[in-house]
Structure 1
């Protein structure tokens, strides 16, 4: 029955998917505030046309011109930009989630009569509850979703994945949705809930009707069939719940919730359990099934990315996040405005209904570089909003990640030669909020299956940590094109993409992490930016260092393949000033020369002060003299030349920005001189001295995660980063020693004990940001915007 409903909905007539009217013009319609409605806003249709083909592309015009607009066809205000969507998620008081499950198409009286016959009484769930009830229930029931609990389900997910692939591995073709991706997430969801095996098949049969009932646009006739299925779903789910109540001793989430009900009967009520039983089956099943199908389609369409994860499974976690960003299964959520407010620059009245389109936000170029590209090395892809944000962020995100990672690992290991069947048409269930192909046809040559040659590949598997991907595994291979001597003890490496493809663009001050042997070291980019497939770094052989630079000097030669992460920039050049002092000590010239090149290009006033042991040991002198002429001032200790920082700074205009990189003594001297004007000084450090945790001397403290409405205790032997992750809140990280800036979080209140080497004195004084890997509270409590 459910499949017939799906077929009927898909057969509905649709207009040309790229039909537009009067782009940029104004119609004679007005929105609820009396403002004229544009032609694009008037034409927007969430159920037909471009939005159903590609929601992010359909709202490109909105992100550029009209990020918040009223849709007369939908009766909703549509929000399309990243910061605006996150702002709405962050404030669940002004923007109530109460309409998140409201039917987009109201039921007919006949359909309501059918639902009443089955006693259908769907109540509020975690998705659409207001505060304070929402967080009371969320806190009471979240234990089953923490990483230590979720890891228990991994063997079952791996077993199911192996069994399903075994069924078609020798056939040479499959519809991955019908033959695997639709069923496994539902089975996992039912196991997670603790549903008895004998009841799983019937619950599978009913689940699709719930999506059509809530987010779809069924006809009057289709409503009757949907209502019949939803009613049966409700009735059967209640019977399964009664069976669980008779024996609530199992490991399932519903059994855990029943046990919690004994302690908190006013929080975990009977009607709530019944509603959650039904809602979680749909939420955990369909979103993961669709996301997995979207990811496989996307990766197989981007063959370079597919080949890279086949060759390097450690890239799979970040590839999953990038697929969730680029083509997530959750397209949009809905909110109700409880008071007159503004979203961005747009006034929105009380009572307005919002469609906040996460698919559009995830393609916002204001937040993501080259957002329409699939980049499995993307540094900030975990910022995507597919799981929502704040207190209503998806509780099941980590089990979904686990499933998708295991699916990709199994396919890349066993069917790396798999490809999409050409010229297939992808169809989707028409609705506003969830998206995934109904079918995904793939093919391969069974004679090329790797396990036929080497059955041992089936014995091991990758060890993926529960939660957001760790940045330390995120590395791309590059070839060493050139190695040249730049100065005594300094070599310059030119790195190239092995296939000639463009590498990520970068800005002055950026660095990459270079991984060679057992070493991972950070080096600033210093070459020109005219060749997009090449990067340049310079490396000083530091005999007193930890061995990384010496290893590179002795072992890396042209043609060698090495791994890099990045580029990343935490020493970014503010191009708005008129005057600049660029100060470099020794190898600190590497980011400074890139800044000088850019300032010259911009026609800015700048001067370079470069100090070192001797002229022979100072890199890039010839190029600096050639390109920057009399703007360059050199100071070689061997020639008794001393850089007088006080005199240099006194002679500069009062609004001069100072950028410096070099040894700690140089940066400390600048800090001292500029302590009265710290906002003018920007520095980059070489080392992370003083950032490590010292449990014997640390003070425990409390952290309030304002957006998630959680309180976390940070003991003396745990970092803030570890404590936040333990409660399921994603914070990316990389070096975890205070050098890279990846784990930066926003501070709302409290006094921070800053220990990083990223923030300037001015930024520390503002107290608005901190690095979660190393910094702590000076005392008492911190409030973070997480």
Structure 2
């Protein structure tokens, strides 16, 4: 048992003989069945009552909440990673002697080295991990997965761990490293011993056997590395490292490469194998989610993120406090060891609503901490994502009728890596879809290499009704296929509708009643000169059809604290504005609603608007000579009044001029089209961005967007429209002046200079920006 950190001798006499370590903290055992089976549930008491506590059994301070753990990851100076690979169970002298006999000299790696050594190495060795470089591995992963599934597809029963999930990720890892085929089998035999040696609790009699395996692993890794040095050309991260050593000998050393050979195999293999086993277990335990991804493979990328959040393969990590610090109000002395339980953080209700719910459509699932965060975030995260997506695609396509077999799940006892040792599944082989549909084998779902956009999550809906509203305008009422409530929304929100394919996706504002949880309503104007979306809706969609939508999401949100509202709509722009007017009426906010159109026949919802709003509605019809005089309406600025408008660009431009003298941000508008054009390198300036949390400085070329530069550097950034319209690629700005080119941010937000859209905005004058990434 570790020494208690509390100074009992210095305690007040009344506390003599007592210890401030709680009963639950005293009982905490990360090697016990409770933690191994379900770490988040095992630590629920801690998240709720004692988020940071000392474990006498382990000799570590245990941290369980999301914000505290993310802050620890963010600051790798105060919280050193140096103990991340330290043996959590010290080995005895006999095992140590065995390791010494093999010349075992495991050095620091990217996982556990401090600055200033870490970041220069990370920069030099990063390129093979970028999304662009990883694309080359996709065909190999697909082919391997198919070959292994072929072996048991007709058996009707399989242990997915033994028969696929253990071997395929290991083979992929070895290919990624560039290990020759003839050495793969030997390395497979030794890799698990390294994990047990570092994170497990081997018994004294087991430690010697483990030490022999680790020693053999070390020697074999050195021999393979020596073979690679004879010809370092060709693919593979280790060969890339050897080539980089020639250019940066002081950064990429011999001992470093040897250590990375061992660490890389374990990091790329076990985490992915365990993560996929956990994911399959979760999905098959939730049949509705499994059915959803079988029917709609586009959900797979976000399902992967939710599986990593809900039941990831990395349960906890470790850090060393280099100075006296305070975490969750608890004073932690310098030199303290921390067990940061990321699996607990991923179930923190303070960050993830209804955190225990498994929801493959959760829009912030990818904010999980399973890959860590900041400068030491897992470099191989996107390789793991790629493999998991391909595994799930293959299983859902070829074995949608798969189910969990009756079994008891067991785990190798350790603090950090977790996944079931076996995962038995069953199916009726006579029902295999490919027997009747052989072309099924040729289908494949595009892999998203990187963090999936929360705005790419589709939801099925049924068209319950189609109602004509005006000339060329119809209203679609959309409901859930299972009759359940649809997501809540607020006035100004819109949804994306896939118009026949994911490539033809269009945004439509919601115009129904936000209080109606059963349905979403949109109004669609048929535009002859449009891009095809409205023509598809008008020409192809029928009552009873099943559509895919994304959202709702809202970048045109109504401020319900406003004293007075002026609401202005032009043409089909009435859709979001009508919902705002309905809400203002319900809340009793003073408002005017101005609705402009060419003719009454083409103006949607006129009768309903008149019935609800009465004298608050002002209709302006060009054909009748009734035009809205914006200069007269807005001649006198009014404190506490806000103006919301949606309509044609010409109307919005005139509105901006009319509001020039009004207080900043009195006017808020929604655009249907973007003014962002293709970059002209001859007119743009290159600039640099410093990523404060990650420790990188990244150049952005004149012909490159910030979004593209970040992704090329393996930094996760969400995006959707990539036209400055949707706001999904927003990043936080710490310093530097931004050239804002989006149509999302308000004037005050632009002037505050605290955020920017990475798909289109740039640095002013080529200066440097510092981002909170």
Fold similarity call, TM over 0.5 = yes
Q: Secondary structure at the match of 1:563?
A: strand
Q: Deviations over 1:193-243 (max 9, x none)?
A: 222323222221221122222222333334343333323322332233233
1:730-779: CA deviation from partner (whole Å, max 9, x where unpaired): 11111111111111111122211111111111111111111111111222
Aligned to 1:701: 687
Residue of 236, 254, 263 corresponding to 2:220:
236
For residue 433 of structure 2, what is the aligned residue in structure 1? 450
Query: Which position in structure 2 is the counterpart of 1:742?
Result: 728
Match status 1:499 vs 2:482? yes
Check whether the contact 2:30–2:36 (CA below 8 A) recurs between aligned residues: yes
Q: Post-superposition shift, 1:516? A: 1.4
Q: Say yes or no: does 1:252 pair with 2:236.
A: yes
Pair 128,629 (structure 1): closer, same or farther in 2 beyond 3 Å: farther
Tell whether the 8 Å contact from 1:310 to 1:416 is kept in structure 2 after alignment: yes
User: Residue in 1 aligned with 2:507?
Assistant: 522
2:585 and 2:687 map into 1 onto residues whose CA distance is 48
Which position in structure 1 is the counterpart of 2:737? 751
Matched, 1:162 2:146: yes
Measure, in 1, the Cα distance between the counterparts of 2:568 and 2:95.
74
Q: Structure 1 residues 490, 222: closer, same or farther in 2, change over 3 A?
A: same
1:277 alignment partner in structure 2:
261
Displacement of 1:40 in angstroms is 5.2
Is residue 481 from structure 1 mapped to residue 481 from structure 2 by the alignment? no
Which residue number in structure 2 is paired with residue 782 of structure 1?
769
SS of 2:557's partner is coil
1:562 to 538, 542, 547: 547
Name the SS for the 2:126 alignment partner: helix
1:479–1:560 Cα contact (<8 Å) kept: yes
Distance of aligned partners of 1:630 and 1:35 in 2 relative to their CA distance in 1, 3 Å threshold: farther
1:110 to 78, 87, 94: 94
1:360 is displaced (CA, Å) by 2.9
How many angstroms apart in 1 are the aligned matches of 2:582 and 2:50? 37
Distance 2:301 2:65 in 1: 26
Q: Tell me the residue number matched to 1:17.
A: none
Following the alignment from structure 1 to structure 2, what is the Cα–Cα distance between the partners of residues 39 and 682? 55
Which residue in the other structure is 1:24 paired with?
none
Q: Does 1:54 align with 2:38?
A: yes
Q: CA deviation at 1:106?
A: 2.4
Q: How does 1:582-731 map to 2 (within 5 A)?
A: 583-586=567-570, 587-598=572-583, 603=587, 605-613=589-597, 617-624=602-609, 638=624, 640=626, 642=628, 652=638, 654-656=639-641, 658-668=643-653, 671-672=656-657, 673=659, 677-731=663-717
Q: Indicate whether 1:391 and 2:342 are aligned.
A: no
1:591 Cα deviation from its structure 2 partner: 3.1
CA contact 1:181–1:292 (8 Å) conserved in 2: yes
Task: Say if 1:589 and 1:610, in contact at 8 Å, map to a contact too.
Answer: no
Q: Is the 8 A contact 1:585 1:666 kept in 2?
A: no
**Greater CA drift, 202-211 or 370-379:** 370-379
The answer as to whether partners of 2:574 and 2:595 remain within 8 angstroms in 1 is: no
Partner of 2:418: 435
Q: Aligned residue pairs: how many?
A: 752
Report how far residue 550 of structure 1 moved: 4.0
In structure 2, do the counterparts of structure 1 residues 707 and 545 end up closer, same or farther at CA, with 3 Å as the change threshold? same
| Alignment of 1:212 onto 2:199 | no
Alignment of 1:196 onto 2:176: no
CA drift of 1:452 comes to: 2.2
Aligned counterpart in structure 2 of residue 534 of structure 1, from 515, 519, 527 = 519
User: 1:596-651 CA deviation, whole Å, 9 max, x = no partner?
Assistant: 555666x5634243322266655445555555666666555647363657756957
Structure 1 CA distance, aligned partners of 2:327 and 2:566? 40
Residues 59-70 of structure 1 aligned to structure 2 (within 5 Å): 59-64=43-48, 66-70=50-54
Q: Is the 8 A contact 2:581 2:593 kept in 1?
A: no
Please say which of residues 542-551 and 162-171 is displaced more in the overlay.
542-551
Write the distance in 1 (CA, Å) between the matches of 2:345 and 2:568: 40
Q: Distance in 2 between matches of 1:713 and 1:201?
A: 42
How far 1:150 moved relative to its partner? 2.4
In the alignment, the residues of structure 1 paired with residue 678 and residue 19 of structure 2 have an alpha-carbon distance, to the nearest angstrom, of 56
1:147 aligns with 2:134: no
Cα deviation, 1:698-747, whole Å, max 9, x if unaligned, reads 22222222322223222232222112111211111111111111111111
Q: What is the CA-CA distance between 1:187 and the residue it aligns to? A: 1.4
Deviation at 1:72, TM superposition (A): 4.5
Give the distance between the partners of 1:607 and 1:573, measured in 2 at CA.
12
SS of residue paired to 1:517: strand
Mapped to 2, the partners of 1:35 and 1:696 lie a distance apart of 70
The DSSP-based 3-state class of the residue aligned with 2:765 is coil
**Structure 1 residues 657, 514: CA separation in 2 closer, same or farther (over 3 Å shift)?**
same
* Aligned with 1:405 (options 385, 389, 396): 389
- 1:561/1:337 CA distance change after superposition, 3 Å: same
Deviation at 1:280, TM superposition (A): 0.7
Contact 2:466–2:477 (CA<8 Å) still a contact in 1?
A: yes
Once the two structures are overlaid, the 10-residue window that deviates more, 344-353 or 485-494, is 344-353
Question: In the aligned structure 2, how far is the partner of 1:631 from the partner of 1:338?
Answer: 64
Q: 1:78: Cα distance to partner?
A: 3.4
Question: Within 1, Cα distance between the matches of 2:365 and 2:727?
Answer: 16
- 2:708 and 2:656 map into 1 onto residues whose CA distance is 31
Out of 299, 304, 309, the position equivalent to 2:288 is 304
The aligned residue for residue 20 of structure 1 is none
1:129 to partner: Cα distance? 0.9
Provide the residue aligned with 2:7 in structure 1.
none
Deviations 1:43-75 (A, max 9, x none): 544333543332233444544555444445444
Cα gap change, 1:608 to 1:111, in 2 (>3 Å): farther
Does the C-alpha gap of structure 1 residues 446 and 555 become closer, same or farther in structure 2, counting only changes over 3 Å? closer
**Are 1:291 and 2:275 an aligned pair?**
yes
SS at match of 1:504: coil
Relative distance call for 1:399 and 1:619 in structure 2 (3 A) is same
Distance 1:589 1:96, change over 3 A: farther
RMSD value, Cα: 3.2
Q: Is the contact between residue 584 and residue 591 of structure 2 (CA under 8 Å) also seen in structure 1? A: no
1:692, 1:737 within 8 Å by CA — same for their partners in 2?
Answer: no
Matches within 5 A, 1:454-473: 454-469=437-452
Give the match for residue 78 of structure 1: 62
| 1:505 Cα deviation from its structure 2 partner | 3.2
CA distance in 2, matches of 1:676, 1:68: 50
TM value normalised by structure 2: 0.89
Per the alignment, residue 315 of structure 1 pairs with 299
Distance 2:754 2:303 in 1: 31
SS at match of 2:594: strand
Paired position in structure 2 for 1:335:
319
The aligned counterpart of 2:751 is 765
